[in-house]
Structure 1
């Protein structure tokens, strides 16, 4: 017989990421962030190989990353929108956790499972932050996928990639409007035979 946790299920059905651009100070201290990181790392990890690592970015590091994003976008011939998107994620942020997919050479754990595990860390971190009362969201964007930016910015090894950049801070007092959510019935098929 199941042992339901209605409060947890209610939280998951109502959870709502908070856009990074509206997150404000304060942000979690190192001591407040530690249990969120611990919760985030309780994800499926077949083979217990820990195919991810975390990089916490605050303060002057955010300003440095904004400058690097602008320089890289300019180098790529990016327009004002690309520059603004690259800079904005770091200019407007106060604390970000970069979740880095760091796959291991493993005979039994395929790369796809390792990549999925890193994505699970991103969502688990957002949910842990929201459950703790912070605002949080998971972003990617071109800065996550452009090797010319991500390798020097985040110290990526050749086999690593950015699974996501999770921004955490104080949510605005007014609730953030929700977006339309998918209809499970429209997306679910039951196979009984």
Structure 2
């Protein structure tokens, strides 16, 4: 029998993202973030391409992005509620990591596998933050798909996209448990 890491299994069976709007200061220090980012980068990465990168945001950078969300939302004709919701993510943020999908040319690794790796980084980042004692949640929104927002606000290159915005901070309330998938509905067992 393989040796079970019960602590890790217990963590994974009970992990729960924290809604970013419930997080407050303080957030992780730079040294703490480096440990979290190091753990997050340990994901499946076929071809060792590192088809993603991190942009760590706090303070004035979050304020600038909140203002840009308002400007871009108005330019796109978004309704006031959608604009306010997008801006509030940044206004309320303590520390935010933009996980950028940055695909690499490869004759062996299709772009879709690189996309999956970037998604795995987002989950790895949330889990590493939670395991480090911080609250963390993964968000997107209309602004995460708006090219002018991404290029002006985050400096993304034309071939890059945003896999997610992962917010980290101090948890103010424990979130209630939510319904989980019924395995009988999502699992097929094949033995032949």
Pairing 1:11-90 to 2, within 5 Å after superposition: 11-90=11-90
Paired residue secondary structure (2:171) = coil
TM-score (norm 1): 0.98
Q: Deviations over 1:11-59 (max 9, x none)?
A: 1010000100010011000011110000000000111110000000000
2:179 is the counterpart of 1:184: no
Please, which runs of 5 or more residues in structure 2 have no aligned partner? none
Pairing 1:140-179 to 2, within 5 Å after superposition: 140-172=140-172, 174-179=173-178
Where does residue 114 of structure 2 map in the other structure?
Answer: 114
Paired residue secondary structure (1:170) = strand
How far has the Cα of 1:188 moved from its partner? 0.2
2:136 is the counterpart of 1:130: no
Please, which runs of 5 or more residues in structure 1 have no aligned partner? none
How far has the Cα of 1:167 moved from its partner? 0.2
Name the Cα RMSD after superposition: 0.8
* Rounded Cα–Cα distance in structure 2 between residues aligned with 1:80 and 1:180: 31
How far has the Cα of 1:95 moved from its partner? 0.6
Paired residue secondary structure (2:56) = strand
Where does residue 3 of structure 1 map in the other structure?
Answer: 3
How far has the Cα of 1:179 moved from its partner? 1.1
Aligned length: 192
How far has the Cα of 1:152 moved from its partner? 1.1
* Rounded Cα–Cα distance in structure 2 between residues aligned with 1:97 and 1:116: 18
Which deviates more from structure 2 when the two are superposed, residues 89-98 or residues 147-156? 147-156
How far has the Cα of 1:85 moved from its partner? 1.6
TM-score (norm 2): 0.98
Q: Deviations over 1:87-133 (max 9, x none)?
A: 01101111100000000010000000000000000000000000011
